[in-house]
Amino acid sequence: MGVLDGKVGVVTGATSGIGARTAEVFAAEGARVVIAGRRTDEGEALARSIGDAAVFHRTDVSVEEDVAALVDRAVDAFGRVDVMVNNAGSPSHLTGVMDVERSLFDATLSVHVTGTLLGIKYAARAMRESGGGSIVNMCSVAGHAGGYSGLDYSVAKAAVAHLTRCAAVELGEYGIRVNSVSPGFVLTGIFGKGAGAADADAADARTDGLRHLMTDMMGAHQPLPGIGETDDPAAAMVFLASDAARMITGQDLAVDGGMLAGRPAAVMLAERARIAALVTGGGPAET
Ligand SMILES: NC(=O)c1ccc[n+]([C@@H]2O[C@H](COP(=O)([O-])OP(=O)(O)OC[C@H]3O[C@@H](n4cnc5c(N)ncnc54)[C@H](OP(=O)(O)O)[C@@H]3O)[C@@H](O)[C@H]2O)c1
């Protein structure tokens, strides 16, 4: 028996990475699931691999008609929507505030913020009809602190965190919970896509090649060793989707190896040791 038995979920951005894994885990936990994204071949292949519990619906989350049709498809295929995961996301453009290009900034906000808003809008309408549900939005550590991604992505994710709270206080009366998940760094193709890989499939295919480098980079930022896997945010989304979270709304659940709690103490101690070496000629310094 799964914790999502009998539920119907919609997962946007499920043609790769965290969304694809979330759709698989939802199905393994007993849910029927609608997989959404723009890449038809990848989405249909994932739906086939899951079997009768999944269908793919091609969706660009920045297009309102697409999102409305996605929710309609879920109701047509499976009768209702109990869980909406607004996960679709594009990489940062990595330009700073003095070089930002308006069109690229708008494009990032259009996917992350407007796409999430539209997902909430149409899922909430369906959930109100059926008596409630759970909406889980994809945020990021970059939405809570600067320096983890580019300006456009960070601002967009901060907006997703606040949109989550605003929607939660409005939709509670209909029995609709709204929460978000903030991963730290999870090994997916989004980094290759942001770094200029030839196409999305090429970036997805080369993801594992980044494992060593990224694990090494995390050492300065993340108290827990290692790098996030797609299973990590997927598990958080299962929890927030499930009835175990029935009294949780308006919250953000960080799945970040402790990154937002602070730097590893060992990093601070190493800095203090360098200060001590300068001040005392090698001995320990008072703090
Ligand atoms: N990986 C990390 O370290 C990390 C950390 C924090 C947060 N996140 C967030 O997690 C989410 C998933 O990212 P990921 O890491 O799994 O990367 P990914 O593998 O590149 O997944 C992104 C997904 O979003 C879809 N997408 C992009 N633009 C879309 C649009 N306009 N309409 C519909 N779907 C769209 C992509 O599918 P199509 O190309 O087929 O449309 C793809 O399925 C994103 O919101 C990302 O910001 C990731």
Question: Which residue lies with its CA nearest to atom 47 of ligand 1?
Answer: 89
Report the alpha-carbon distance of residue 73 to residue 81 in Å, rounded. Answer: 10
Q: Name every residue whose Cβ is closer than 8 Å to that of residue 37 and which is 6 or more positions away in sequence.
A: 12, 13, 14, 15, 16, 19, 43, 56, 58, 59, 88
Among 102, 108, 101, CA closest to 190: 108
60 Cβ below 6 A of ligand 1: yes
**Hey, which CATH number is domain 8-186+228-256, 3.30.1520.10, 3.30.499.10, 3.40.50.720, 1.10.3470.10?**
3.40.50.720
User: Rounded to whole angstroms, how far apart are CA atoms 236 and 255?
Assistant: 8
Q: Whose CA is nearest to atom 14 of ligand 1?
A: 17
In angstroms, the CA 43 to CA 32 distance is 15
**Which of 21, 58, 87, 208 should be mutated for ligand 1, with most atoms under 8 A from CB?**
87
Ligand 1 atom nearest the C-alpha of 20 is 43
> How far, CA to CA in Å, does 238 sit from each of 90, 170, 246?
22, 23, 12
The full set of domain ranges for the chain reads 8-186+228-256
How many angstroms is it from 36 CA to the middle of ligand 1? 11
Question: In this predicted structure, what is the pLDDT of residue 206?
Answer: 87
Instruction: At 284, list the tokens.
Output: 């320990």
Which pLDDT does position 23 carry in this prediction?
Answer: 98
**Which active-site residues does the annotation give?**
153
CA geometry: angle 88, 257, 242, nearest 5 deg? 55
- Among 84, 76, 82, CA closest to 132: 82
Q: How far is the CA of 65 from the centre of ligand 1 (A)?
A: 20
Q: Residue 233 in contact with residue 181, Cβ under 8 Å?
A: yes
Residue 76 CA, ligand 1 centroid: distance in Å: 25
Ligand 1 centre to CA of 284 (Å) is 47
Tell me the pLDDT of the chain (287 aa) as tens digits: 899 999 999 999 999 999 999 999 999 999 999 999 999 999 999 999 999 999 999 999 999 999 999 999 999 999 999 999 999 999 999 899 999 999 999 999 999 999 999 999 999 999 999 999 999 999 999 999 999 999 999 999 999 999 999 999 999 999 999 999 999 999 999 998 998 887 899 889 889 889 999 999 999 999 999 999 999 999 999 999 999 999 999 999 999 999 999 999 999 999 999 999 999 986 555 55
Ligand 1 atom closest to the Cα of residue 59 is: 33
